[in-house]
Chain A
Amino acid sequence: MKKIKARDFIYVASYIVVFIVSLFIGRLWFSPFGMNGINKIIFIDVRLPRAIIVSLAGASLGLAGIAFQNLFRNYLAGPGILGVTSGSAFGAVFAILIFQFNPYLIQSSSFIFGIIAVVLAYKLGSLIGKGLLSLILAGMVVSAIFGGFIGLAKYLADPYNKLPTIVFWLLGSFSGIRWIDVEVSFLPMVIGIVGLISMRWVFNILSLGDEEATALGINAKRWRIAAIILATLCSSAATSVGGMIAWIGLVSPHIARLMTGVDNKKLVPMTAIVGAFLLLVCDTVARSLTASEIPLSIVTDFVGAPILFIILVKRRKMYYVKD
């Protein structure tokens, strides 16, 4: 027990190191010693809020991923499985298209539509049937519908003024985050993260399926809804502030499994740390590599997909081949 704690400490510590180091890296590199006026402003008003929001978003996406992987008992479930990502994306695109550019409005609209998408998936799913499969199918339908609306919005958008904003947002980015942007997404992300981490034991039971979970004495339906609400809350908040971010929600649980195994007691908190770590690294790369910022999803695509592939090859026996 104590040995495990020492190892966990190393993971947390390495995240903290990345967090601190990322504050001094960027287009402007500076040392923690002898910060002058402008460096201090960049440090406190630009990089600090951004690092905090990025970490929370990474943890949120990772946790939403692990929550859905457990609920649907499938390794390939991600945060977007019930349509939350496409819903959020549509909300943001809609706000960009209709209103004057206003980050606050974009975030709120994105957040609300993310939740609407999941509620819709839930309602449509109940028309198909009772099981989890109908929920996944309904999620696909909802994603497709919102995807269609996003395409329509891009087609209709003013190509000089609004289209670049939409495209940039759809590729994900945390650029321009200030303390004031923290307001919309901070609370839902923290609630989601704390809630999902405290459900870590329940995820073990839920991952057995509704029947066995009931036999082991939990109200499976109620806990499942709680998990969906929390995951939706934090992943739509993360999407609303950072745009569409690919791969983090799917890959973080897989990386965390390498470190802790599949027991959710340890896996869930570790997924949060890995998600935060990974997104922070990707975001730091995205904003430091070139003179103008690279959209975040380009970096997460190039980082996430190979990592997943390596893990799948390395662990194929453990997860997939039952011989």
Chain B
Amino acid sequence: MLRIENIHFSYGKDEVLKSVTLSLNASMNCLLGPNGSGKSTLLKIITGILPPRCGTIRTEKVDILNLSPRERSKMISYVPQEFSINFPYKVSDVVLMGRNPYINLLEGPKTDDEKIVLHYLRLLNIENLKDKPFTHLSGGQKRMVLIARGLAQEGKIMLFDEPTMSLDFKNQLLVLTVIEKISKKFNKCVLLSLHDPNLALLFCDELFLLKGGKIIREGIPNKTITEESMMELYNLKTLLVSTSNERSFVVPKKDFLNTLFLGEKDDFRKNRKKDTSAPERRS
């Protein structure tokens, strides 16, 4: 569906991406990597927000990098990590902005566009939010509205930059379930970035581990996420636990965390014991 080849990018002297090459063939593709590994940068380059220093991005037919912003935005929907909307636009207006690639800029949207907006709001079960001001929604609701905007853009390729960011446990699952359903039902090619390997294991078909601006591993989640690869990606000792339905989950080793982050392991333990015993004495 999308072939990204040999992408280089740097902010000033900092080289952020070093020859990134990947192909998106599955429907749910995921970028996993530590902070500053270049996930967001890569998504922005694919969208066209940042120009790569060199490299190619293309589908079977078209060279994406040579398209105008308008043509590109018809193929690629981008759902940003942060909510940058400062004015209390109505939810339906926000989603309507997703129709921009198809709208005559001087005339504005048509009634057909409004119908499409309504359709996607219904699809995501957020029609009730339609007249609410965007700035007053909860984090989970805002995320759903931006997903609806991405859908209204009707790109075959949808990019999500950390769609689970600042959401509670349930809303993270809600958002990812919705994205997964969209990708399967409408045959979209989704690329999203995540921070939680367990969510990647639960929802994704194809995984790319990004570290220091390079893809260090790729493949299906169960094969890609291993104790070794977590060590390589995050420098963390983890345990891979399999559940009865053949899913596996990553569990960090607590002892290792204490040594890693707090240095002197024994001292810390002593202190903690003191702390817990203090309230007991008082009672």
Which residue numbers of A lie inside 8 Å of B, CB to CB? 73-74, 198-202, 204-205, 207-212, 214-219, 261-263, 265, 318-319, 322
Number of interface residues of B (CB under 8 A): 36
**Looking across the interface, which residue of chain B has its beta carbon closest to that of A315?**
B88
Contact, CB under 8 Å: B86 / A73? yes
| Tally of contacts, chain A with chain B, CB under 8 A | 78
A217 in complex: contacting residue of B101, B107, B109, CB < 8 Å: B101
**Looking across the interface, which residue of chain B has its beta carbon closest to that of A200?**
B108
Is B103 part of the contact surface with A, judged by Cβ < 8 Å?
yes
> What are some 24 contacts across the A-B interface (CB < 8 A)?
A73-B86, A198-B106, A201-B107, A201-B109, A202-B105, A207-B85, A207-B86, A208-B97, A211-B44, A211-B49, A214-B47, A214-B49, A215-B77, A216-B73, A216-B98, A216-B101, A217-B69, A217-B74, A218-B69, A219-B69, A262-B87, A263-B90, A318-B133, A319-B88
In the assembled complex, which residues on chain B have CB atoms less than 8 Å from the CB atom of A205?
97, 100
- Shortest Cβ gap from A20 to chain B (Å): 31
Contact, CB under 8 Å: B86 / A215? no
Given A205-B100, A215-B73, A216-B98, A74–B86 Cβ distance below 8 Å? yes
In the assembled complex, which residues on chain A have CB atoms less than 8 Å from the CB atom of B78?
212, 215
In the assembled complex, which residues on chain A have CB atoms less than 8 Å from the CB atom of B106?
198-199, 201
Contact, CB under 8 Å: B70 / A215? no
- Shortest Cβ gap from B180 to chain A (Å): 22
What are the 5 tightest A-B residue pairs by CB atom distance, in nearest-first order? A217-B73, A215-B78, A201-B108, A217-B101, A217-B70
Contact, CB under 8 Å: A263 / B100? no
Most-contacted residue by chain B among A204, A210, A212, A319 (CB, 10 A): A212
- Shortest Cβ gap from B98 to chain A (Å): 7
In the assembled complex, which residues on chain A have CB atoms less than 8 Å from the CB atom of B77?
215
Contact, CB under 8 Å: A217 / B89? no
Given A217-B100, A218-B100, A212–B80 Cβ distance below 8 Å? yes
In the assembled complex, which residues on chain A have CB atoms less than 8 Å from the CB atom of B71?
217
In the assembled complex, which residues on chain B have CB atoms less than 8 Å from the CB atom of A262?
87-89
